[in-house]
Amino acid sequence: MRLPRTLFWGMMLLWIFVAMWWAGSRRNFAPIRGALKLENTGLPGFHIADSTWNINSTNNFRFSKSGSVPVITDDMAALLDSFIRYANSHPYKSVSINGCFGLEEMNTSAFENLGLARADGIKNWLIANGMVNRTIQTVAQPIDWLVFSPEDTLVGGISIMLYNAVPVTDDGLESRMASVKSISNLLSFDTDFSNFVRNGNNLAAKKEE
């Protein structure tokens, strides 16, 4: 009978030891996971939304403070490649790139402000990496709540929007050309400006002989 009792108490002690180790491990690892979660949610992410398609990521652009050259990681480049493929498959959608800048930042670029310089840098990157020729609008916006982490690195600073551009079809183009032709027939002048003709038929005035 001693062997089963010894085995029972040995298993009990082993179970208690394992339970204490597991509880201690959770206490040690929980703050680390919480800190990582706080760090990820504390920094601005990258977002693009268009009808049923969207990107939501904790990755984002980086710029040096008062700088206009974007730092694009491999993960961020993969997101932008996805955006380029989507945009290229929707040719009637135009792109708007909003570059942000802080009022305390110094603009050393050739642009009117640092936001336009940053937006133009992203525009050039998109075109260089396969975005087809389309209307890409660049705008700028001063913001006083930009996030710098560390202090000399801007996180984000760029927002990208897709919007519908109304295509000009062949029928629409012909209609517009017909309208222009009709207007030109309403009012025309001869080469020596001596006759003034209205509606192409009725003589309104002639040079008196």
The pair phi, psi for residue 101, each rounded to 5°, is -150, 150
Mean pLDDT of the chain: 74
For residue range 93-111, what is the model confidence (pLDDT) as tens digits?
999 999 999 999 999 999 9
pLDDT at 177 over 90: no
* Structure tokens that stand for 127 in this block: 């075109």
Choices 3.90.1150.10, 1.10.3720.10, 3.40.50.1820, 3.30.1330.60: CATH for 44-164: 3.30.1330.60
User: Which position has the higher pLDDT, 9 or 162?
Assistant: 162
Q: Give yes or no for a contact between 140 and 99, defined as CB atoms under 8 angstroms apart.
A: yes
Q: Where are the domains of the chain?
A: 1-42, 44-164, 170-205
pTM of the model: 0.61
Query: Which pLDDT belongs to residue 9?
Result: 65
Instruction: Please state the separation of Cα 36 from the chain's center in Å.
Output: 26
pLDDT at 42 over 90: no
Query: Which of these, 83, 120, 79, lies nearest to 98 by C-alpha position?
Result: 120
